[in-house]
Amino acid sequence: MYTIYGIKNCDTVKKALAHLDKNGAQYEFVDFKKTPPTKELITKWQKFMKDWPVNRRGPTFRKIKDAFEAGRDTAKISLLIESSSAIKRPLIEKKGKPLVAGYDSEIYKDIK
């Protein structure tokens, strides 16, 4: 079973969920708007991505960009918890292990 993190009204998340539904994948969806990410999740995703798990092109990140870039790690984590729409999505995990961030149809072929 997979855990999908994101925002329900995000077009990229919608594409990912449609793909998973079409292929019969079992998953639990965690909506950032109802359940904000934790410090532990953000840190885990940062290690997986080898960078901060942010959507640098999104409007939410652009609003917090200066504070984010000027902040220390703890401040960056707090900003991402408070502004979860700035996080790259969807993030997919299996048994607590990150598999993919974002949507890529090639990678999703193996998720069933």
Question: Is 112 a residue whose pLDDT tops 80?
Answer: no
Question: Of the residues 4, 7, 10, 42, which is catalytic?
Answer: 10
pLDDT tens per residue, range 3-51: 999 999 999 999 999 999 998 999 999 999 999 999 999 999 999 999 9
10 catalytically annotated: yes
Band the pLDDT of 90: cuts 50, 70, 90.
very high
Report the largest interatomic distance among the alpha carbons of the chain, rounded to a whole angstrom: 43
Distance CA 12, CA 50 (A): 21
Phi and psi, residue 78, nearest 5°: -60, -40
Band the pLDDT of 108: cuts 50, 70, 90.
confident
Domain boundaries, the chain: 2-108
Question: Is 82 a residue whose pLDDT tops 90?
Answer: yes
pTM of the predicted protein model: 0.91
Percent of the chain with pLDDT over 70: 100
CA angle 89, 91, 96 (to 5 degrees): 160
Question: Is 107 a residue whose pLDDT tops 90?
Answer: no
Q: Is 74 exposed, middle or buried (0-12, 13-18, 19+ CB in 10 A)?
A: exposed
Please name the fold of domain 2-108.
Answer: Glutaredoxin (3.40.30)
